[in-house]
Amino acid sequence: MADKQTLARPYARAVFEVAKEQGALESWLNLLSCLALISNHGEVLQFLRSPSTELGKVELFLKEVCESFLELSPLQFNFIRVLVAGRRLELAQQIKSSYVAFFEEEQQRKTLEITTASPLTSEQKDMLIERFGRELNRKIILNEKLDANLLGGFILKNGDQVVDASLKGQLFHLKDILNAS
C-alpha cells in the first residue's frame, strides 16, 4: 500500500491547479489548513471514521466548521465531499503539505524550519535568509523554533532534508563513533 504522502499528492495537485485557475491560492490553502486541523483532532477523527456516522452528516459537520473560519465556494464543498466519500480525510495534513510545496514553487519561495537553543538575532536571521535564498534561488521564509535541549548550534529542515549542526547532535555522533570502535 502506498504511503499517505503518495496518496495525497494527486489531490494536492488537482486542488492546486483549480486554485491557480481561480486565482484563489490563499483561499484553498485556508481550507486545507482547516481540514488538516480537524483531521489531527483524535476525537473528531474517531467520530468521522465511525461506521455509524452517516457520510452526509460528516460533510455537513466539516462544512459548518470550515465556514466558521472562511467562506466556502461550491467547488471547495465538493472537494470536502470527495474526501469524505473516498474516506480520505485522514490525508488532509499530507494534502496540505503537498499543496504548500506546489504553492511555494509557484511563488518562488521556500519555507525552512530552524531549531536553535536560543533565539536568533535579526542579523543571524538575515544572514541565513540571504545565504539560503541565494543557494536555493528562492525567497526564504524562516520558521524558528526553540529547543533548549540542543545546547548550541541548530537543526535546519528543508522539506525532508535535515541538517543537524547542533551540539547535542554532534555529541550523539561522537558517541556512535566511539561505540563503533
Question: Are 99 and 122 found together in one domain?
Answer: no
Question: Are 128 and 95 found together in one domain?
Answer: no
- Domain limit, last residue, from 50, 79, 104: 104
Question: Are 114 and 99 found together in one domain?
Answer: no
Question: Are 52 and 67 found together in one domain?
Answer: yes
CA–CA separation, 29 and 81 (whole Å): 17
- The helix/strand/coil state of 120 is coil
pLDDT tens figures, 94-113: 999 999 989 988 888 888 99
Model pLDDT, residue 87 = 84
Question: Are 97 and 8 found together in one domain?
Answer: yes
Q: How many domains does the chain have?
A: 2
Question: Are 124 and 176 found together in one domain?
Answer: yes
Tell me the Cα Rg of the chain. Answer: 20
Residues written for the chain: 181
Model pLDDT, residue 31 = 95
- Name residues of the chain where pLDDT drops below 50: none
Question: Are 100 and 130 found together in one domain?
Answer: no
Task: Indicate which CATH number applies to the domain containing 14.
Answer: 1.10.520.20
Q: Cβ(95)–Cβ(8) under 8 Å? A: yes
Question: Are 125 and 154 found together in one domain?
Answer: yes
Model pLDDT, residue 168 = 84
Question: Are 30 and 16 found together in one domain?
Answer: yes
Question: Are 116 and 99 found together in one domain?
Answer: no
Sheet containing 139-146: give its strands across: 139-146, 109-116, 154-158, 161-164
Give the range of the structural domain holding residue 58, as residue numbers without chain letter: 4-104
Question: Residue 55: how many CB atoms within 10 A of its CB?
Answer: 12
Question: Are 94 and 115 found together in one domain?
Answer: no
Model pLDDT, residue 73 = 93
Model pLDDT, residue 127 = 92
Which residues are within 8 A (CB) of 29 and not within 5 positions of it... i.e. 6 or more apart? 19, 96, 99, 100, 103
Model pLDDT, residue 106 = 85
Question: Are 82 and 148 found together in one domain?
Answer: no
Question: Residue 90: how many CB atoms within 10 A of its CB?
Answer: 16
- Domain limit, last residue, from 52, 73, 104: 104
Model pLDDT, residue 34 = 93
Quick one: how far is CA 78 from the chain centroid? Answer: 22
CA torsion angle 50 30 128 106 (round to 10)? 110
- Domain limit, last residue, from 88, 104, 120: 104
Model pLDDT, residue 1 = 55
